[in-house]
Structure 1
């Protein structure tokens, strides 16, 4: 078991933790701020500015009547930790001989401490209680040092959202692009909900959250109270990311019963027509989301509940059916194959006509909040998600039969308990314990059968069980423990804490287990003349061996937050992260012997474990002027993340001792039995091996920022913020079995090339080493304006310029793919520092909203979101392997200045033959028409150096509220209409979205070497640099209906 294996390590670390606590107590230390709660601090003084020690502060959370009581210290300073996020709060202060003062309508933001100061008058000089209206300020806040974006519940309810996802609101962050934050791989983000990890820590989902491959969100949006995105938080509690941290907290019940029933939907009737070619209407589809939430008291002022059920039902057609106008494959070809397979092998290939694919998810969220006493509160919540998504695709030239589809299933159970305690005015503690159980697996349709691909002149036909899905399962168990002890001493807030995550993984993935057959024509298939077969089989007693391993990431930290004055706050902290891998991959002694003279010490049974990764941090917040209209903030520090555990899983499977392969050209005959594929021929003698440097370190960056916030007249807030991150440790993949280059190409493109015998040892295909690099950096400069108007209008507009460079962007889940698809010019084992796949460059983001209130029974509102961005980065590479390193489509192109610098040969495409002159005319025009390519003539393309065109997208929500009186309560009937990509609604040429498959354009095809040994090339005159996304470029509408009661 993991915990037994970690026992010795944990004893040492626990001793370290206790010693840290002892040290902190000796210096009377204190406090830390969490990612699930808020805080409040301030001073109480008399009218001459003299501090009033012993003044009583009572903050009451009005919806639950939860009270937080504190008294000021000798400095007249108070600090209340672990408070409920939101509000409104009523804050009262009293002191003997002085008039009581009260501040109303105070709202607390997630992860921030609100400053509420009081100036009291003597009782003899004032009559009646003094009341002040408070307001929430997410910008001018002493806890704000680095870049952060808070999204309130009001914004969640008012802004347009297509998928009702976290990503629809993290896009409000100026430095974010899609799921990437700060120009970094989205796998390097950390996502928490109620303080508990909610990442796809294994790293297979594009959304970065559990269930992403099943097309589901990790939690219902109606269960979310507030969202926070942080990029450079110098609070050492925040960790496990080198990109961004996304923190969300959930709703809770109050003393008033309230709830909502809602539904949202869209279909082909409220979506635009095709933006290119014939103005065709979208195919029939359905996308419905509906649910209910309710919360209230179980025992007033003491025990509260909140629950939410949310469902999504999506049905989409699969296009390009054989015989249809959009497919080049005739119906007769599909019928011929289907009937032959049924009659000969008794196998039903499934549908080849109209076919729908479904996506479904059901989410259930339950939360209990218990005010045990005035000083102790407990939260217990559970989130359940059950989802599936059908995966099935066809194209104009490829027809997949129904039983080649698969269903991705995902089920997640997450339980979190949080205990907040206040032992005195000075001492408080926050304890979070969580457990997640995630089960993902693929399910093939029909009976198990080998996958068969027929490359016929009419097109490609594919049937049988999908080759990557017959053995594809992932089990994850995650336990986490977080504790933060805080104490107030004078103007110092000291923190001592720990955050620990324990993982247990079982990953079953065997490609081609059922066999993968290829035929060159339908005729060859019927006559049983296969061209190739590939299959994978187990070398162990287990026919379906899985990678099973445990891991942990432990974190310990201490911190001092010093409020030097009302205008200056300093933060200094130290964090240490410790990766632990108690399990080791199988040892391959044959590999060790084969490479003993070249790589002494090379072993497969090593993993990095027990390293102490130190992360000091410093932050500051300073208001130079007494009126605090100017705020200067910033800091510097080290941030340690985690790697996707799939990158570690590769080492446990690909040791060369677990899986064997079959790869036979022109085998004797087709074998329909999926369990007898080894009979196709002798096993391949070569294997792929994955190893890791035993000194490998988790991703780490040194990040610094400096920002200026200024309030202009009329409440306009301007921000200028710069962020710079230097890579300390990142990933790089090398092939230890690749020989040195043997020469260079003749001509203008004189890159190094490799010999045909490119393997050091021919018994191995690749030996992929996962190692570290310290090359890389990213920076951004952001300017932002905000303004909230008293009449209900809110606005924000930001521009960001950013640049990111790395040596490997880590875009894949497998070691081999991360190596072979990392584009280079000369040496794949020495990739150069170039642009990152996640480079931002230019981004403009804005939002605004206004609510018209008329009479007592209705209101109309409109909100707008705008995003403008320079096109996503793209790479230009050759099709096929130009330099002979064994990797396809990883060679960056040389951009010729004239026809003499590229040896074009005739090519026939779709029955038309193009001469070299015709090809060059088209290629030359394409290069001249692109700014990047034209500027790089006579040079090599850079990895991700090109850009797609700018994109502009406007999204709008219009809502109509009708208020209904029910006794003393007011209910609301709300109708919403969201319009996404409004530009396309106005013109078919506006709002266009672009894509390039894998962000890599195989612009020029390497056609082989001529008799003189010089490379020859072909170019398709019909080539585009990028494609227009026909679906995403259309406007889409979504209708919503909600009934709110309270």
Structure 2
């Protein structure tokens, strides 16, 4: 029955896709208004003709019985010329109208009667994307002139989405960027699997999803109460691409920078010198060309771009003498070059070359191609076909103050994306409009390891780690994605109502090979332990391998179908009410393997834990998720000088599909894990020059203590969903300044929450600390024979976000625009969704209690204070020259991070990823509340000296000082305020040849311009992975008191007095020079 129901729903949606559509939205604009006589009475039968001047595309609409007209499916941009004619009345023309993406421009005009032959009246138009009847929720439009004039080096989406006051990097409105929906030309352009930080395809290869030269306009929406916009619980990013016109035009460009166009290190080295970056280069070159194939009918636009970058790693090693007393922020202090040489020599004795521990230049390469055709079939139908291609690769290796990686511990990430979109825009008379969009994309990602295959090796050294061998997540790592999208909607214009019926359907196919530690993974607790091949203490060996008959590749199909209806009701000429309902249906098409051990273990409640109804072959039920919305816009004075707007609605997004994929690849039937922590003996696990013998022996005997982790999904799991509401006032001040005050509040309805249901109930509390503790080793698991962690993906309704924004905008003309905004925002959740693998989504979430019963705390995307400002001015002079100066300022109250322990697992809950514990620290009031010990034989400090150093650190940190006697909150601490100013200078030199201007444009972009003025300005602060290991857990004091003991610092190098580090690249000024030819 279920399959029949799903097939029926699928057929229904396909039928809807064949017969319904919508007008303006994520690819188009629209225009509406009322044509009246001088007495204010509507004029039925008047003719409104809007002409897109660059292409001579005409949109014709007669007015209805009330004098109203509606023109949907209009091209974004302009300029437009609108002419209104009516027998017996004087014609009127409005010129210079530009339409923003998604904008429904209100244009009300009065006609004068005439009995004699008079010339028509021509008026130059003014328009405002802020005070506009179609605006209800928070949104930011980035127009073409802003894209061309504002500073950017990376030429990325993020350089322009930052103009949104509620944005924070890829995060919108305090949510993980994974929950955004990115669309280009109305079709999804997301990292649906959710592995990259950018949220777009190719992000892991360091590339942008499309050339910036192909983009016409951006739109960022936070709370659009238009039900046509969905698939997000964060925000929506919509972009439309350029098209050709009746005039041939184009551009060729080149941008470049190197080590000579960047500042020196933000802090001096041990010799007191600030250093330059090592040799690197970064250049981008490309072109664009557009024009008519058939004038007024068929247009083309093409674009190509090549990017090449070679960049050095930023963190250095030094001798023991150099790192002792070191104050440089880019010199590692937990390991010295002599030790690295010893490690390298030891690995070479096993026949393995670990690669360099000196300087490394990582290369990033990207090739992009874009083509678009626009066909004006006739006055009522336009067809667009476009294709986008991106081929990129990136040498992925990085170092930080707490992690050193040998050269062959990196990998190369390869990514190739093809995306095709077909869109048909239609109008039927003056009452109906239709828009059909079909998109198909393929994304192919893979990793290639560097050097010969060898086990992955992690060595703990003081408060840092050293990594060598084959990167453990890259030996078997490949992802293929295929996405089909069908969006088709229908408008009915009925008097004061605009009715919309529509459907939006996405069908996905994923093929993911991902097996970690296939060559084995060694963890050594010290450099000495590694050099001696010591298997005692905190040594650990892990290995994953395929079981007989198993298939570790996760292949599955999924879909999200959507239908919706909406009524846009102009109750009066100055009050518009929009109401709608959207229905989304997530569907999963394939079934993972069945493992009877899982459901039998959790079917009945025991003293160790409650019952869970879980099965490895059962995915979430396909159930409709409802998203009702209502929005309003009130032009208080009827003159677009004072606008009140707002609304409320439910927004349903997608999960990161990697979380669903985990269930296909972690059933316990396809591959298993050997973990020495779960074995009774470590004999034979030594690292040798014939590691493959050990690897194959373990794989050949899976019954000998080999177990894996299991991933299951709650049968009632729902896609991320929240209720969002906003209220805003827009007011026109003198001098053309528009002021906005806006508040947004979001309440979680369904968010993602991972739990380890194989973890037994706590058996007590930690003495002197009070946090729950669990049995050590495999005794922590309810079923410790067949599997380790059993991660259940379920939902929570706990969480909220809010923000308050004040903003000023001024656009005098196309040559001058300025904005300034302040936002205060908070975001709280149980899990911020920052990880991806079956176990890491649970164990990387810091806590101080039961990891399956988390308290609400600050999100990893908590915003707090943010101030932004932008300014651009262009001046033409001497008939052949124009100079443009632009600047962007971003000031932000740091980023959140957590204070945790590191080393061993303090409460045995299993959350000890690679020695960096997920246990939040207890902040001692005084020395009596903590048992301190030295870090080792080389640490000659007394306990009192260690406490004095720790106490000084706490007193120097505002968060720790204010929360003594408490557990540190997840993401409770913050890095310092950060200020950055970016500037751009453009110099145009132009002349007219024939009828066309030809321009040479010289440019220089400087990011972090303040650092160029003062070496102490523009510093960027960060904490690796959002966690700072302040104290190292060293074990229990004794069996009588059971109090935990901790070490602080190492006693052999300067102990940092702050948790954060100064980013070595982002804290320097960087300049990029460019040249462009335009015609």
TM-score normalized by the length of structure 2: 0.92
Taking the aligned partners of 1:331 and 1:930, their CA distance within structure 2 comes to 32
Taking the aligned partners of 1:527 and 1:370, their CA distance within structure 2 comes to 72
Deviations along 1:123-174, whole A, 9 cap, x unmatched? Answer: 2277211011112311011110000000000000000012100110000000
**1:340-489 residue pairs with structure 2 within 5 A?**
345=351, 348-351=353-356, 353-394=358-399, 400-452=405-457, 463-489=468-494
Residue 772 of structure 2 aligns with which residue?
752
The answer as to 2:984 corresponding to 1:957 is yes
CA contact (8 A) 2:355 2:406 kept: yes
Count of matched residue pairs: 1032
Residue 328 of structure 2 aligns with which residue?
none
Taking the aligned partners of 1:327 and 1:931, their CA distance within structure 2 comes to 26
Taking the aligned partners of 2:918 and 2:878, their CA distance within structure 1 comes to 65
Residue 632 of structure 1 aligns with which residue?
644
Deviations along 1:540-580, whole A, 9 cap, x unmatched? Answer: 436x6210000000000000001122211110101000000
Taking the aligned partners of 1:285 and 1:610, their CA distance within structure 2 comes to 51
Residue 1033 of structure 1 aligns with which residue?
1067
Residue 654 of structure 1 aligns with which residue?
666
In structure 2, relative to structure 1, the CA distance for the partners of 1:102 and 1:275 (3 Å cut) is: same
SS at match of 1:789: strand
The answer as to 2:870 corresponding to 1:847 is yes
Residue 696 of structure 2 aligns with which residue?
678
Taking the aligned partners of 1:635 and 1:653, their CA distance within structure 2 comes to 42
Question: Which of residues 540, 546, 554 is equivalent to 2:553?
Answer: 546
Question: Which of residues 887, 894, 898 is equivalent to 2:926?
Answer: 898
The answer as to 2:1029 corresponding to 1:1015 is no
Q: CA deviation at 1:941?
A: 1.6
Deviations along 1:184-211, whole A, 9 cap, x unmatched? Answer: 1111100000000001000001000000
Q: CA deviation at 1:396?
A: 7.8
SS at match of 2:852: coil
CA contact (8 A) 1:385 1:413 kept: yes
Question: Which of residues 720, 723, 743 is equivalent to 1:699?
Answer: 720
Taking the aligned partners of 2:1026 and 2:404, their CA distance within structure 1 comes to 24
Question: Which of residues 508, 513, 535 is equivalent to 2:543?
Answer: 535
Root-mean-square deviation (CA, aligned residues, Å) is 2.6
**1:906-917 residue pairs with structure 2 within 5 A?**
906-908=934-936, 911-917=938-944
SS at match of 2:659: helix
Residue 774 of structure 1 aligns with which residue?
797
CA contact (8 A) 1:5 1:582 kept: no
In structure 2, relative to structure 1, the CA distance for the partners of 1:1024 and 1:913 (3 Å cut) is: farther
Q: CA deviation at 1:943?
A: 1.3
Q: CA deviation at 1:790?
A: 4.7
Taking the aligned partners of 2:26 and 2:498, their CA distance within structure 1 comes to 17
**1:500-519 residue pairs with structure 2 within 5 A?**
500-517=505-522
In structure 2, relative to structure 1, the CA distance for the partners of 1:270 and 1:552 (3 Å cut) is: same
In structure 2, relative to structure 1, the CA distance for the partners of 1:884 and 1:842 (3 Å cut) is: same
Taking the aligned partners of 1:791 and 1:415, their CA distance within structure 2 comes to 33
Residue 289 of structure 1 aligns with which residue?
284
CA contact (8 A) 1:476 1:505 kept: yes
Taking the aligned partners of 1:418 and 1:930, their CA distance within structure 2 comes to 56
Question: Which of residues 106, 114, 119 is equivalent to 1:115?
Answer: 106
Taking the aligned partners of 2:654 and 2:882, their CA distance within structure 1 comes to 47
SS at match of 1:254: coil
The answer as to 2:242 corresponding to 1:215 is no
SS at match of 2:126: coil
CA contact (8 A) 1:36 1:111 kept: yes
CA contact (8 A) 1:427 1:486 kept: yes
- Between 1:915-924 and 1:382-391, the stretch displaced more is 915-924
Residue 38 of structure 2 aligns with which residue?
47
Residue 78 of structure 1 aligns with which residue?
69
- Between 1:875-884 and 1:75-84, the stretch displaced more is 875-884
In structure 2, relative to structure 1, the CA distance for the partners of 1:500 and 1:259 (3 Å cut) is: same
**1:59-74 residue pairs with structure 2 within 5 A?**
59-74=50-65
Residue 586 of structure 1 aligns with which residue?
593
Q: CA deviation at 1:5?
A: 11
SS at match of 1:610: coil
TM-score normalized by the length of structure 1: 0.94
CA contact (8 A) 1:142 1:621 kept: yes
Q: Which runs of 5+ in 2 are unaligned?
A: 323-330, 606-610, 677-681, 1050-1054
In structure 2, relative to structure 1, the CA distance for the partners of 1:882 and 1:392 (3 Å cut) is: same
SS at match of 1:907: coil
Q: CA deviation at 1:351?
A: 4.5
Taking the aligned partners of 1:133 and 1:526, their CA distance within structure 2 comes to 79
SS at match of 1:124: coil
Residue 27 of structure 1 aligns with which residue?
none
**1:571-970 residue pairs with structure 2 within 5 A?**
571-598=578-605, 599=611, 601-664=613-676, 665-667=682-684, 669=686, 670=688, 672=690, 674=692, 677-679=695-697, 683-747=704-768, 749-756=769-776, 757-763=779-785, 764-790=787-813, 792-879=815-902, 880-888=904-912, 889-908=917-936, 911-970=938-997
CA contact (8 A) 1:235 1:573 kept: yes
In structure 2, relative to structure 1, the CA distance for the partners of 1:704 and 1:550 (3 Å cut) is: same
Taking the aligned partners of 1:980 and 1:966, their CA distance within structure 2 comes to 36
Question: Which of residues 498, 502, 509 is equivalent to 1:497?
Answer: 502
Residue 555 of structure 1 aligns with which residue?
562
Q: CA deviation at 1:476?
A: 0.2
Deviations along 1:961-985, whole A, 9 cap, x unmatched? Answer: 1012211111111111111111111
Taking the aligned partners of 1:787 and 1:653, their CA distance within structure 2 comes to 54
Taking the aligned partners of 1:458 and 1:901, their CA distance within structure 2 comes to 23
Taking the aligned partners of 1:6 and 1:419, their CA distance within structure 2 comes to 33
Q: Which runs of 5+ in 1 are unaligned?
A: 25-29
Taking the aligned partners of 2:909 and 2:195, their CA distance within structure 1 comes to 28
SS at match of 1:608: coil
